[in-house]
Chains A and B, each alone.
Chain A
Protein backbone atom coordinates (compact mmCIF):
# COMPACT_ATOMS: atom_id res chain seq x y z
CA UNK A 1 0.00 0.00 0.00
CA UNK A 2 2.70 2.40 1.10
CA UNK A 3 4.95 1.58 -1.84
CA UNK A 4 2.05 1.94 -4.25
CA UNK A 5 1.38 5.44 -3.00
CA UNK A 6 5.05 6.36 -3.21
CA UNK A 7 5.36 5.15 -6.76
CA UNK A 8 2.27 7.12 -7.71
CA UNK A 9 3.82 10.22 -6.20
CA UNK A 10 6.97 9.63 -8.17
CA UNK A 11 4.94 9.16 -11.31
CA UNK A 12 3.09 12.43 -10.92
CA UNK A 13 6.37 14.12 -10.11
CA UNK A 14 7.90 12.82 -13.30
CA UNK A 15 4.88 13.85 -15.33
CA UNK A 16 4.93 17.34 -13.88
CA UNK A 17 8.56 17.78 -14.69
CA UNK A 18 8.04 16.94 -18.33
CA UNK A 19 4.79 18.79 -18.88
CA UNK A 20 5.22 22.09 -20.52
CA UNK A 21 3.15 24.85 -22.03
CA UNK A 22 3.81 26.62 -25.30
CA UNK A 23 2.96 30.32 -25.51
CA UNK A 24 2.71 31.65 -29.04
CA UNK A 25 4.06 35.19 -29.22
CA UNK A 26 2.30 37.80 -31.27
CA UNK A 27 4.16 40.78 -32.60
CA UNK A 28 3.97 43.59 -35.10
CA UNK A 29 6.56 46.17 -36.08
CA UNK A 30 9.19 44.43 -33.91
CA UNK A 31 7.04 44.89 -30.83
CA UNK A 32 5.63 42.18 -28.61
CA UNK A 33 1.85 42.44 -28.17
CA UNK A 34 0.30 42.91 -24.73
CA UNK A 35 -1.90 39.88 -25.52
CA UNK A 36 1.19 37.67 -25.44
CA UNK A 37 2.06 38.83 -21.94
CA UNK A 38 -1.48 37.98 -20.82
CA UNK A 39 -1.02 34.55 -22.40
CA UNK A 40 2.17 34.10 -20.34
CA UNK A 41 0.20 34.88 -17.17
CA UNK A 42 -2.38 32.26 -18.18
CA UNK A 43 0.46 29.78 -18.77
CA UNK A 44 1.79 30.49 -15.28
CA UNK A 45 -1.65 29.63 -13.89
CA UNK A 46 -1.54 26.28 -15.70
CA UNK A 47 1.63 25.69 -13.71
CA UNK A 48 3.89 23.85 -16.12
CA UNK A 49 7.23 24.90 -17.55
CA UNK A 50 6.77 27.66 -20.10
CA UNK A 51 8.21 27.69 -23.61
CA UNK A 52 7.62 30.74 -25.79
CA UNK A 53 7.75 30.66 -29.54
CA UNK A 54 8.14 33.61 -31.82
CA UNK A 55 7.73 33.18 -35.56
CA UNK A 56 8.12 35.81 -38.23
CA UNK A 57 10.24 37.38 -40.91
CA UNK A 58 12.17 39.46 -38.40
CA UNK A 59 12.01 38.43 -34.75
CA UNK A 60 15.31 39.47 -33.18
CA UNK A 61 13.94 42.41 -31.26
CA UNK A 62 10.86 40.54 -30.11
CA UNK A 63 12.99 37.58 -29.07
CA UNK A 64 15.19 39.91 -27.03
CA UNK A 65 12.11 41.31 -25.31
CA UNK A 66 10.65 37.84 -24.72
CA UNK A 67 13.88 36.56 -23.19
CA UNK A 68 13.36 39.09 -20.40
CA UNK A 69 9.87 37.87 -19.52
CA UNK A 70 9.96 36.18 -16.12
CA UNK A 71 8.83 32.56 -15.91
CA UNK A 72 9.72 31.66 -19.49
CA UNK A 73 12.24 28.83 -19.43
CA UNK A 74 12.67 28.20 -23.14
CA UNK A 75 12.47 30.50 -26.11
CA UNK A 76 12.13 29.17 -29.65
CA UNK A 77 12.70 31.50 -32.58
CA UNK A 78 11.51 30.60 -36.07
CA UNK A 79 12.75 33.27 -38.43
CA UNK A 80 12.01 32.97 -42.13
CA UNK A 81 11.21 35.58 -44.76
CA UNK A 82 8.22 33.44 -45.77
CA UNK A 83 6.63 34.12 -42.38
CA UNK A 84 6.04 37.78 -43.22
CA UNK A 85 2.42 38.63 -42.51
CA UNK A 86 2.14 35.53 -40.30
CA UNK A 87 -0.18 33.60 -42.59
CA UNK A 88 -1.83 30.76 -40.62
CA UNK A 89 -0.95 28.24 -43.36
CA UNK A 90 2.70 29.00 -42.69
CA UNK A 91 2.67 29.64 -38.93
CA UNK A 92 0.64 26.55 -37.99
CA UNK A 93 3.28 24.08 -39.34
CA UNK A 94 5.95 25.93 -37.33
CA UNK A 95 3.92 25.47 -34.13
CA UNK A 96 3.24 21.83 -35.01
CA UNK A 97 6.95 21.21 -35.58
CA UNK A 98 7.71 22.68 -32.15
CA UNK A 99 4.98 20.54 -30.61
CA UNK A 100 6.32 17.40 -32.30
CA UNK A 101 9.72 18.04 -30.77
CA UNK A 102 8.66 19.01 -27.24
CA UNK A 103 5.17 17.50 -26.82
CA UNK A 104 3.41 20.33 -25.03
CA UNK A 105 0.40 19.79 -22.79
CA UNK A 106 -0.97 23.29 -23.49
CA UNK A 107 -0.65 25.65 -26.43
CA UNK A 108 -1.73 29.20 -25.57
CA UNK A 109 -2.08 32.48 -27.45
CA UNK A 110 -3.94 35.72 -26.93
CA UNK A 111 -7.50 35.82 -28.30
CA UNK A 112 -6.61 38.40 -30.94
CA UNK A 113 -7.21 38.30 -34.69
CA UNK A 114 -3.85 36.47 -34.95
CA UNK A 115 -4.49 33.96 -32.17
CA UNK A 116 -8.02 33.27 -33.37
CA UNK A 117 -6.77 32.61 -36.90
CA UNK A 118 -3.88 30.32 -36.08
CA UNK A 119 -4.73 28.26 -33.01
CA UNK A 120 -7.87 26.50 -34.27
CA UNK A 121 -5.83 25.49 -37.33
CA UNK A 122 -3.21 23.97 -35.06
CA UNK A 123 -5.86 22.23 -32.93
CA UNK A 124 -7.51 20.62 -35.96
CA UNK A 125 -4.13 19.27 -37.07
CA UNK A 126 -3.69 17.77 -33.60
CA UNK A 127 -7.27 16.44 -33.77
CA UNK A 128 -8.29 18.25 -30.56
CA UNK A 129 -10.93 20.84 -29.70
CA UNK A 130 -9.56 24.32 -29.14
CA UNK A 131 -11.07 26.49 -26.42
CA UNK A 132 -11.57 30.11 -27.35
CA UNK A 133 -11.24 33.31 -25.39
CA UNK A 134 -10.96 31.85 -21.89
CA UNK A 135 -11.47 34.18 -18.95
CA UNK A 136 -10.31 31.83 -16.20
CA UNK A 137 -8.31 28.69 -15.45
CA UNK A 138 -9.63 26.52 -12.61
CA UNK A 139 -7.36 23.56 -13.23
CA UNK A 140 -4.99 22.56 -16.04
CA UNK A 141 -7.99 20.96 -17.78
CA UNK A 142 -10.83 23.18 -16.52
CA UNK A 143 -11.50 26.56 -18.05
CA UNK A 144 -14.03 29.36 -17.88
CA UNK A 145 -15.31 31.29 -20.90
CA UNK A 146 -18.33 33.32 -21.87
CA UNK A 147 -21.00 32.34 -24.37
CA UNK A 148 -24.01 34.17 -25.86
CA UNK A 149 -22.25 37.55 -26.04
CA UNK A 150 -21.15 37.37 -22.42
CA UNK A 151 -24.64 36.62 -21.15
CA UNK A 152 -23.68 33.23 -19.74
CA UNK A 153 -20.51 31.88 -18.22
CA UNK A 154 -19.48 28.37 -19.12
CA UNK A 155 -17.10 26.22 -17.12
CA UNK A 156 -15.78 23.30 -19.09
CA UNK A 157 -13.44 20.38 -18.79
CA UNK A 158 -11.26 19.53 -21.77
CA UNK A 159 -10.51 15.84 -22.17
CA UNK A 160 -8.14 16.21 -25.12
CA UNK A 161 -4.49 15.36 -24.52
CA UNK A 162 -3.36 18.78 -25.70
CA UNK A 163 -5.24 21.88 -24.60
CA UNK A 164 -5.22 24.57 -27.26
CA UNK A 165 -6.37 27.84 -25.74
CA UNK A 166 -6.81 31.48 -26.64
CA UNK A 167 -7.03 33.79 -23.65
CA UNK A 168 -8.95 37.02 -23.17
CA UNK A 169 -6.38 39.72 -22.51
CA UNK A 170 -8.59 41.67 -20.13
CA UNK A 171 -8.94 38.63 -17.84
CA UNK A 172 -5.22 37.99 -17.32
CA UNK A 173 -2.80 40.71 -16.18
CA UNK A 174 0.15 41.07 -18.54
CA UNK A 175 3.29 39.33 -17.24
CA UNK A 176 6.25 41.54 -16.28
CA UNK A 177 8.98 41.98 -18.86
CA UNK A 178 11.71 41.43 -16.29
CA UNK A 179 13.51 38.68 -14.44
CA UNK A 180 13.65 36.30 -17.39
CA UNK A 181 16.76 34.75 -18.83
CA UNK A 182 15.68 32.29 -21.51
CA UNK A 183 18.19 32.09 -24.33
CA UNK A 184 16.72 32.18 -27.85
CA UNK A 185 17.04 28.85 -29.65
CA UNK A 186 16.53 28.75 -33.39
CA UNK A 187 13.83 26.47 -34.80
CA UNK A 188 14.08 25.73 -38.49
CA UNK A 189 10.99 24.64 -40.34
CA UNK A 190 10.37 24.31 -44.07
CA UNK A 191 7.62 26.81 -44.71
CA UNK A 192 5.12 25.89 -47.42
CA UNK A 193 4.61 28.92 -49.63
CA UNK A 194 2.12 27.55 -52.10
CA UNK A 195 -1.41 28.05 -50.96
CA UNK A 196 -1.60 31.66 -49.88
CA UNK A 197 0.21 34.93 -50.18
CA UNK A 198 0.46 37.95 -47.94
CA UNK A 199 -0.05 41.21 -49.82
CA UNK A 200 -0.13 43.94 -47.24
CA UNK A 201 -1.78 45.74 -44.39
CA UNK A 202 -3.53 49.02 -44.06
CA UNK A 203 -3.35 49.96 -40.41
CA UNK A 204 -5.20 52.81 -38.76
CA UNK A 205 -2.71 55.30 -37.42
CA UNK A 206 -3.36 57.05 -34.14
CA UNK A 207 -1.38 58.77 -31.39
CA UNK A 208 -3.95 57.72 -28.83
CA UNK A 209 -3.46 54.69 -26.58
CA UNK A 210 -4.25 51.29 -28.06
CA UNK A 211 -7.92 50.40 -27.55
CA UNK A 212 -7.52 46.97 -25.93
CA UNK A 213 -4.97 48.08 -23.36
CA UNK A 214 -6.03 51.70 -22.67
CA UNK A 215 -7.06 52.50 -19.11
CA UNK A 216 -9.63 55.01 -20.33
CA UNK A 217 -11.89 54.65 -23.36
CA UNK A 218 -14.40 57.04 -24.89
CA UNK A 219 -16.81 55.40 -27.34
CA UNK A 220 -19.35 56.81 -29.74
CA UNK A 221 -22.43 55.33 -31.33
CA UNK A 222 -25.15 56.18 -33.79
CA UNK A 223 -26.00 59.25 -31.72
CA UNK A 224 -22.89 61.00 -33.06
CA UNK A 225 -24.73 61.28 -36.39
CA UNK A 226 -21.58 61.67 -38.52
CA UNK A 227 -17.89 60.88 -38.72
CA UNK A 228 -17.04 64.57 -38.38
CA UNK A 229 -18.81 64.72 -35.04
CA UNK A 230 -16.41 62.09 -33.69
CA UNK A 231 -14.04 65.04 -33.38
CA UNK A 232 -15.96 65.88 -30.19
CA UNK A 233 -14.98 62.51 -28.76
CA UNK A 234 -11.35 62.82 -29.86
CA UNK A 235 -11.12 66.10 -27.94
CA UNK A 236 -12.63 64.53 -24.83
CA UNK A 237 -10.38 61.48 -25.25
CA UNK A 238 -7.29 63.70 -25.43
CA UNK A 239 -8.25 65.28 -22.09
CA UNK A 240 -8.65 61.82 -20.54
CA UNK A 241 -5.65 60.27 -22.31
CA UNK A 242 -8.20 57.79 -23.60
CA UNK A 243 -8.50 55.51 -26.60
CA UNK A 244 -11.58 55.98 -28.80
CA UNK A 245 -13.95 53.12 -29.51
CA UNK A 246 -17.25 52.77 -31.31
CA UNK A 247 -20.43 50.75 -31.47
CA UNK A 248 -21.25 48.63 -34.50
CA UNK A 249 -23.83 51.22 -35.57
CA UNK A 250 -21.14 53.90 -35.77
CA UNK A 251 -18.85 51.61 -37.76
CA UNK A 252 -21.59 50.44 -40.12
CA UNK A 253 -22.66 54.03 -40.75
CA UNK A 254 -19.07 54.71 -41.81
CA UNK A 255 -18.33 57.21 -39.02
CA UNK A 256 -15.13 55.36 -38.04
CA UNK A 257 -13.10 52.32 -39.12
CA UNK A 258 -14.08 48.82 -38.02
CA UNK A 259 -10.98 48.19 -35.92
CA UNK A 260 -12.49 50.63 -33.39
CA UNK A 261 -15.55 48.47 -32.82
CA UNK A 262 -16.15 47.37 -29.24
CA UNK A 263 -18.41 44.37 -28.73
CA UNK A 264 -19.06 40.66 -29.14
CA UNK A 265 -17.59 40.67 -32.62
CA UNK A 266 -15.19 43.55 -32.22
CA UNK A 267 -12.76 44.14 -29.39
CA UNK A 268 -13.39 43.10 -25.82
CA UNK A 269 -12.06 45.66 -23.39
CA UNK A 270 -12.14 46.31 -19.66
CA UNK A 271 -10.69 49.77 -19.01
CA UNK A 272 -10.86 51.61 -15.69
CA UNK A 273 -13.18 54.17 -17.24
CA UNK A 274 -15.52 53.62 -20.19
CA UNK A 275 -17.51 56.59 -21.43
CA UNK A 276 -20.33 55.56 -23.79
CA UNK A 277 -21.61 58.49 -25.79
CA UNK A 278 -24.72 58.17 -27.94
CA UNK A 279 -24.65 54.38 -27.59
CA UNK A 280 -27.95 52.63 -26.79
CA UNK A 281 -26.29 49.57 -25.25
CA UNK A 282 -27.33 46.58 -27.37
CA UNK A 283 -26.42 43.11 -25.99
CA UNK A 284 -23.65 42.82 -28.58
CA UNK A 285 -22.03 46.08 -27.50
CA UNK A 286 -22.29 45.32 -23.78
CA UNK A 287 -20.43 42.04 -24.44
CA UNK A 288 -17.35 44.07 -25.26
CA UNK A 289 -17.26 46.52 -22.35
CA UNK A 290 -19.32 45.45 -19.39
CA UNK A 291 -16.29 44.39 -17.37
CA UNK A 292 -15.04 48.00 -17.36
CA UNK A 293 -14.48 49.23 -13.81
CA UNK A 294 -16.49 52.44 -14.13
CA UNK A 295 -19.03 52.93 -16.91
CA UNK A 296 -20.36 56.38 -17.77
CA UNK A 297 -23.25 56.79 -20.20
CA UNK A 298 -24.24 60.01 -21.91
CA UNK A 299 -27.46 59.58 -23.84
CA UNK A 300 -30.56 61.66 -24.38
CA UNK A 301 -32.83 58.61 -24.18
CA UNK A 302 -33.42 57.90 -20.49
CA UNK A 303 -34.72 54.42 -21.41
CA UNK A 304 -31.56 53.35 -23.27
CA UNK A 305 -30.33 49.94 -21.99
CA UNK A 306 -26.83 51.37 -21.49
CA UNK A 307 -28.11 53.05 -18.31
CA UNK A 308 -28.72 49.60 -16.80
CA UNK A 309 -24.99 48.91 -16.69
CA UNK A 310 -23.74 52.48 -16.24
CA UNK A 311 -22.35 53.49 -12.85
CA UNK A 312 -22.92 57.11 -13.75
CA UNK A 313 -25.55 58.11 -16.25
CA UNK A 314 -26.22 61.55 -17.67
CA UNK A 315 -29.44 62.01 -19.62
CA UNK A 316 -28.44 64.85 -21.89
CA UNK A 317 -27.80 65.91 -25.46
CA UNK A 318 -24.27 64.73 -26.19
CA UNK A 319 -23.64 67.70 -28.47
CA UNK A 320 -23.91 69.94 -25.40
CA UNK A 321 -22.64 67.61 -22.65
CA UNK A 322 -19.47 66.36 -24.35
CA UNK A 323 -17.99 69.80 -25.21
CA UNK A 324 -18.91 70.99 -21.72
CA UNK A 325 -17.18 68.01 -20.17
CA UNK A 326 -14.09 68.51 -22.34
CA UNK A 327 -13.91 72.15 -21.31
CA UNK A 328 -14.32 71.47 -17.60
CA UNK A 329 -11.85 68.63 -17.32
Chain B
Protein backbone atom coordinates (compact mmCIF):
# COMPACT_ATOMS: atom_id res chain seq x y z
CA UNK B 1 0.00 0.00 0.00
CA UNK B 2 1.24 3.49 -0.84
CA UNK B 3 0.13 6.45 1.20
CA UNK B 4 -0.07 10.06 0.11
CA UNK B 5 -0.21 12.35 3.15
CA UNK B 6 -1.15 16.00 2.79
CA UNK B 7 0.52 18.56 5.06
CA UNK B 8 -0.18 22.28 5.31
CA UNK B 9 2.08 25.03 6.59
CA UNK B 10 0.04 27.25 8.90
CA UNK B 11 0.62 29.93 11.52
CA UNK B 12 1.73 28.13 14.68
CA UNK B 13 -1.19 27.16 16.91
CA UNK B 14 0.13 29.15 19.88
CA UNK B 15 0.38 32.46 17.98
CA UNK B 16 -2.25 35.11 18.59
CA UNK B 17 -3.10 36.19 15.04
CA UNK B 18 -3.46 39.83 14.03
CA UNK B 19 -5.84 41.09 11.38
CA UNK B 20 -4.16 43.09 8.60
CA UNK B 21 -4.90 46.83 8.39
CA UNK B 22 -6.35 46.35 4.89
CA UNK B 23 -8.89 43.90 6.41
CA UNK B 24 -8.25 41.32 3.72
CA UNK B 25 -6.51 38.72 5.83
CA UNK B 26 -4.26 38.20 8.83
CA UNK B 27 -0.59 39.15 9.22
CA UNK B 28 1.58 36.21 8.13
CA UNK B 29 4.95 37.93 7.48
CA UNK B 30 7.45 37.36 10.26
CA UNK B 31 4.99 35.15 12.14
CA UNK B 32 6.02 31.70 13.34
CA UNK B 33 4.65 28.94 11.11
CA UNK B 34 4.63 25.18 11.59
CA UNK B 35 2.93 22.06 10.31
CA UNK B 36 -0.83 22.01 10.88
CA UNK B 37 -1.21 19.92 14.09
CA UNK B 38 -3.79 17.58 12.53
CA UNK B 39 -1.44 16.91 9.62
CA UNK B 40 1.35 15.93 12.02
CA UNK B 41 -1.04 13.30 13.33
CA UNK B 42 -1.80 12.14 9.78
CA UNK B 43 1.94 11.84 9.02
CA UNK B 44 2.53 9.92 12.26
CA UNK B 45 -0.27 7.49 11.44
CA UNK B 46 1.03 6.94 7.91
CA UNK B 47 4.48 6.16 9.30
CA UNK B 48 3.01 3.80 11.88
CA UNK B 49 1.15 1.97 9.11
CA UNK B 50 4.50 1.62 7.36
CA UNK B 51 6.18 0.38 10.54
CA UNK B 52 3.41 -2.20 10.91
CA UNK B 53 4.19 -3.28 7.31
CA UNK B 54 0.66 -2.36 6.25
CA UNK B 55 2.06 0.36 3.99
CA UNK B 56 5.15 0.21 1.82
CA UNK B 57 5.75 3.84 1.10
CA UNK B 58 4.73 7.22 2.51
CA UNK B 59 4.86 10.30 0.30
CA UNK B 60 4.25 13.73 1.83
CA UNK B 61 2.59 16.46 -0.19
CA UNK B 62 2.34 20.18 0.45
CA UNK B 63 0.86 22.98 -1.61
CA UNK B 64 2.26 26.43 -1.02
CA UNK B 65 5.19 28.83 -1.35
CA UNK B 66 8.90 27.94 -1.08
CA UNK B 67 8.61 27.70 2.71
CA UNK B 68 6.22 24.76 2.36
CA UNK B 69 9.41 22.75 1.79
CA UNK B 70 10.31 23.24 5.46
CA UNK B 71 7.03 21.58 6.34
CA UNK B 72 7.83 18.76 3.94
CA UNK B 73 11.30 18.35 5.50
CA UNK B 74 9.58 17.93 8.86
CA UNK B 75 7.40 15.16 7.42
CA UNK B 76 10.48 13.55 5.88
CA UNK B 77 12.33 13.77 9.20
CA UNK B 78 9.40 12.07 10.90
CA UNK B 79 9.76 9.19 8.46
CA UNK B 80 8.10 9.95 5.12
CA UNK B 81 10.07 8.48 2.20
CA UNK B 82 9.80 11.31 -0.28
CA UNK B 83 7.83 14.46 -0.89
CA UNK B 84 5.97 16.42 -3.53
CA UNK B 85 5.86 20.21 -3.43
CA UNK B 86 3.18 21.86 -5.51
CA UNK B 87 4.41 25.42 -5.71
CA UNK B 88 1.97 28.27 -5.27
CA UNK B 89 3.49 31.76 -4.83
CA UNK B 90 2.85 33.30 -1.40
CA UNK B 91 0.75 36.07 -2.94
CA UNK B 92 -1.63 33.60 -4.55
CA UNK B 93 -1.90 31.22 -1.62
CA UNK B 94 -4.83 32.99 0.01
CA UNK B 95 -6.96 32.31 -3.03
CA UNK B 96 -6.39 28.56 -2.85
CA UNK B 97 -9.50 26.83 -1.53
CA UNK B 98 -9.96 23.24 -0.32
CA UNK B 99 -11.68 22.66 -3.68
CA UNK B 100 -8.37 23.32 -5.46
CA UNK B 101 -6.32 21.39 -2.92
CA UNK B 102 -8.64 18.40 -3.31
CA UNK B 103 -8.29 18.55 -7.10
CA UNK B 104 -4.50 18.55 -6.79
CA UNK B 105 -4.50 15.69 -4.29
CA UNK B 106 -6.90 13.58 -6.32
CA UNK B 107 -4.85 14.11 -9.52
CA UNK B 108 -1.65 13.09 -7.72
CA UNK B 109 -3.34 10.13 -6.01
CA UNK B 110 -4.51 8.79 -9.37
CA UNK B 111 -1.28 9.46 -11.26
CA UNK B 112 0.89 8.09 -8.45
CA UNK B 113 -1.33 5.04 -7.94
CA UNK B 114 -1.74 5.66 -4.23
CA UNK B 115 -4.01 3.43 -2.14
CA UNK B 116 -4.59 5.75 0.75
CA UNK B 117 -4.76 9.51 1.14
CA UNK B 118 -4.36 10.85 4.65
CA UNK B 119 -4.84 14.43 5.81
CA UNK B 120 -5.68 16.23 9.02
CA UNK B 121 -9.37 16.74 9.76
CA UNK B 122 -9.02 20.51 9.46
CA UNK B 123 -6.39 23.21 9.01
CA UNK B 124 -6.26 25.48 12.04
CA UNK B 125 -6.11 28.62 9.87
CA UNK B 126 -9.17 28.37 7.58
CA UNK B 127 -10.93 25.86 9.91
CA UNK B 128 -12.71 24.45 6.84
CA UNK B 129 -12.72 20.70 7.50
CA UNK B 130 -13.39 19.88 3.83
CA UNK B 131 -10.32 18.56 2.02
CA UNK B 132 -10.57 14.85 2.90
CA UNK B 133 -14.26 14.69 2.08
CA UNK B 134 -13.85 16.52 -1.22
CA UNK B 135 -10.83 14.48 -2.27
CA UNK B 136 -12.75 11.27 -1.55
CA UNK B 137 -15.66 12.55 -3.65
CA UNK B 138 -13.45 13.46 -6.60
CA UNK B 139 -11.76 10.06 -6.50
CA UNK B 140 -15.02 8.24 -5.77
CA UNK B 141 -13.26 6.61 -2.84
CA UNK B 142 -14.81 5.98 0.58
CA UNK B 143 -13.95 8.41 3.34
CA UNK B 144 -13.20 7.88 7.01
CA UNK B 145 -13.20 11.30 8.62
CA UNK B 146 -12.27 12.32 12.19
CA UNK B 147 -10.42 9.03 12.72
CA UNK B 148 -9.23 8.16 16.20
CA UNK B 149 -8.17 4.59 15.38
CA UNK B 150 -7.15 2.85 12.15
CA UNK B 151 -6.73 -0.92 11.96
CA UNK B 152 -6.31 -3.35 9.11
CA UNK B 153 -9.14 -5.84 8.79
CA UNK B 154 -8.49 -8.16 5.85
CA UNK B 155 -8.83 -6.12 2.68
CA UNK B 156 -10.55 -3.37 4.64
CA UNK B 157 -9.53 -0.66 7.06
CA UNK B 158 -11.52 -0.54 10.24
CA UNK B 159 -11.73 3.04 11.42
CA UNK B 160 -13.08 4.43 14.67
CA UNK B 161 -14.47 7.92 14.16
CA UNK B 162 -15.12 10.69 16.64
CA UNK B 163 -18.74 11.77 16.27
CA UNK B 164 -20.91 14.14 18.30
CA UNK B 165 -22.31 11.64 20.77
CA UNK B 166 -19.28 9.38 21.12
CA UNK B 167 -17.53 7.02 18.74
CA UNK B 168 -18.50 5.21 15.55
CA UNK B 169 -16.83 2.31 13.80
CA UNK B 170 -16.89 1.84 10.04
CA UNK B 171 -15.04 -0.29 7.54
CA UNK B 172 -13.74 1.21 4.32
CA UNK B 173 -12.37 -0.58 1.30
CA UNK B 174 -8.99 0.52 -0.06
CA UNK B 175 -8.35 2.88 -1.82
CA UNK B 176 -9.74 5.36 0.72
CA UNK B 177 -9.27 8.79 2.22
CA UNK B 178 -8.77 9.19 5.96
CA UNK B 179 -8.76 12.40 7.99
CA UNK B 180 -7.03 12.40 11.36
CA UNK B 181 -8.57 13.62 14.58
CA UNK B 182 -6.50 14.74 17.56
CA UNK B 183 -6.73 11.49 19.43
CA UNK B 184 -5.51 9.24 16.63
CA UNK B 185 -1.96 9.24 17.99
CA UNK B 186 0.80 11.31 19.52
CA UNK B 187 3.19 12.47 16.79
CA UNK B 188 6.87 11.72 17.33
CA UNK B 189 9.57 14.32 17.46
CA UNK B 190 12.06 14.21 14.64
CA UNK B 191 15.50 13.38 16.01
CA UNK B 192 18.60 15.24 14.83
CA UNK B 193 19.97 12.26 12.82
CA UNK B 194 16.60 11.93 11.12
CA UNK B 195 16.51 15.64 10.38
CA UNK B 196 19.94 15.28 8.76
CA UNK B 197 18.82 12.24 6.79
CA UNK B 198 15.68 14.07 5.67
CA UNK B 199 17.87 16.62 3.88
CA UNK B 200 18.90 13.89 1.45
CA UNK B 201 15.38 12.66 0.73
CA UNK B 202 13.93 13.80 -2.59
CA UNK B 203 11.34 16.58 -2.92
CA UNK B 204 9.71 16.67 -6.33
CA UNK B 205 8.63 20.15 -7.35
CA UNK B 206 5.70 20.83 -9.60
CA UNK B 207 3.07 23.43 -10.43
CA UNK B 208 -0.70 23.16 -10.24
CA UNK B 209 -0.90 23.97 -13.95
CA UNK B 210 1.24 20.89 -14.75
CA UNK B 211 -1.51 18.83 -13.13
CA UNK B 212 -4.15 20.67 -15.12
CA UNK B 213 -5.61 22.25 -12.01
CA UNK B 214 -6.93 25.79 -12.37
CA UNK B 215 -6.59 27.82 -9.17
CA UNK B 216 -9.18 30.47 -10.01
CA UNK B 217 -11.05 31.17 -6.77
CA UNK B 218 -14.82 30.85 -6.57
CA UNK B 219 -14.91 32.58 -3.21
CA UNK B 220 -14.15 36.27 -2.80
CA UNK B 221 -13.06 37.37 0.65
CA UNK B 222 -14.80 40.67 1.26
CA UNK B 223 -13.29 41.36 4.65
CA UNK B 224 -11.45 39.88 7.58
CA UNK B 225 -12.04 41.57 10.90
CA UNK B 226 -11.33 41.25 14.58
CA UNK B 227 -14.03 39.51 16.58
CA UNK B 228 -16.00 41.67 19.03
CA UNK B 229 -14.15 42.22 22.28
CA UNK B 230 -15.90 41.06 25.43
CA UNK B 231 -16.48 43.70 28.08
CA UNK B 232 -13.99 43.36 30.91
CA UNK B 233 -15.19 41.15 33.73
CA UNK B 234 -14.60 41.37 37.45
CA UNK B 235 -12.84 39.19 39.98
CA UNK B 236 -14.90 38.21 42.99
CA UNK B 237 -13.58 37.53 46.48
CA UNK B 238 -15.40 34.36 47.41
CA UNK B 239 -18.05 31.84 46.47
CA UNK B 240 -20.81 33.83 48.20
CA UNK B 241 -20.14 36.92 46.08
CA UNK B 242 -19.96 34.74 42.97
CA UNK B 243 -23.37 33.23 43.66
CA UNK B 244 -24.82 36.65 44.56
CA UNK B 245 -23.57 38.14 41.26
CA UNK B 246 -24.95 35.19 39.29
CA UNK B 247 -28.33 35.64 40.98
CA UNK B 248 -28.23 39.34 40.20
CA UNK B 249 -27.60 38.52 36.54
CA UNK B 250 -30.44 35.99 36.60
CA UNK B 251 -28.15 33.08 35.74
CA UNK B 252 -28.94 30.90 38.76
Contacts and interface: CB of A to CB of B under 8 A. Distances in A.
Partners in one complex: yes
Interface of A: 28, 85, 87-89, 92, 112-114, 116-125, 127-133, 142, 145-160, 194-204, 212, 216, 240, 248, 251-252, 257-259, 264-265, 267, 272-273, 283-284, 290, 294-296, 302, 307, 309-316, 321, 324-325, 328-329
B218 interface: yes
Contacts of B14: 283
A273 B133 contact: no
A199 to B, nearest CB: 4
B97 A196 contact: no
Contacts of B224: 147, 152-155
Interface in B36-63: 38
10 contacts: A113-B146, A117-B133, A121-B134, A130-B98, A155-B225, A196-B143, A199-B158, A204-B165, A310-B233, A324-B239
A146 B127 contact: yes
Contact of B26 (A131, A152, A325): A152
Given A148-B17, A201-B165, A258-B183, 14 more contacts: A113-B163, A121-B136, A123-B130, A124-B137, A131-B219, A153-B225, A153-B227, A157-B222, A195-B142, A197-B156, A212-B164, A283-B13, A313-B233, A314-B236
A199 B223 CA distance: 44
Nearest to A149: B124
Given A130-B130, A325-B239, A329-B243, A159 B218 contact: yes
B226 A152 contact: yes
Contact of B16 (A145, A151, A311): A151
Interface stretch (B77-85, B167-175, B193-201, B203-211): B167-175
A159 B16 contact: no
B134 A258 contact: no
A196 B153 CA distance: 13
Interface string B211-252: 000000011111111110011011110111011011001011
A300 B61 CA distance: 44
Interface string B108-125: 000000000000011011
Interface of B: 11, 13-14, 16-17, 19, 26, 38, 97-99, 102, 121-122, 124-131, 133-138, 141-146, 148, 156, 158, 161-173, 176, 181-183, 218-227, 230-231, 233-236, 238-240, 242-243, 245-246, 249, 251-252
B127 A133 contact: yes
Nearest to B146: A113
B242 A259 contact: no
A296 B124 contact: no
Given A152-B19, A273-B246, A313-B234, A121 B165 contact: no
B251 A272 contact: yes
A241 to B, nearest CB: 10
A120 B172 contact: no
Given A129-B97, A148-B26, A198-B170, A309 B163 contact: no
Contacts of A154: 221, 223-224
Contact of A202 (B122, B166, B220, B221): B166
B233 A309 contact: yes
A118 B38 CA distance: 20
Contact of A124 (B102, B156, B162): B102
A127 B243 CA distance: 54
Q: Which 6 A-B pairs have the closest CB atoms?
A: A124-B137, A120-B133, A124-B134, A196-B142, A195-B142, A120-B130
Nearest to A324: B239
Contacts of B245: 312
A315 B164 contact: no
Given A113-B146, A158-B218, A264 B127 contact: yes
Given A196-B171, A204-B165, A259-B163, A128 B218 contact: yes
A273 B249 CA distance: 10
Looking at A119, A257, A311, which has the most chain B CB atoms within 10 Å of its CB? A311
A122 B128 CA distance: 15
A191 to B, nearest CB: 13
Nearest to A118: B133
A115 to B, nearest CB: 10
A317 B94 CA distance: 45
A216 B144 CA distance: 33
Contacts of A216: 251
A246 to B, nearest CB: 13
Contacts of A258: 148, 162, 181-183
Given A199-B170, A311-B233, A149 B127 contact: yes
B170 A87 contact: yes
A148 B127 contact: yes
A149 B227 CA distance: 11
Contacts of A147: 26, 125-127, 224
Contacts of B99: 123-124, 127-129
A290 B173 CA distance: 40
Contacts of A312: 233-234, 236, 242, 245-246
Nearest to A267: B164
Nearest to A126: B137
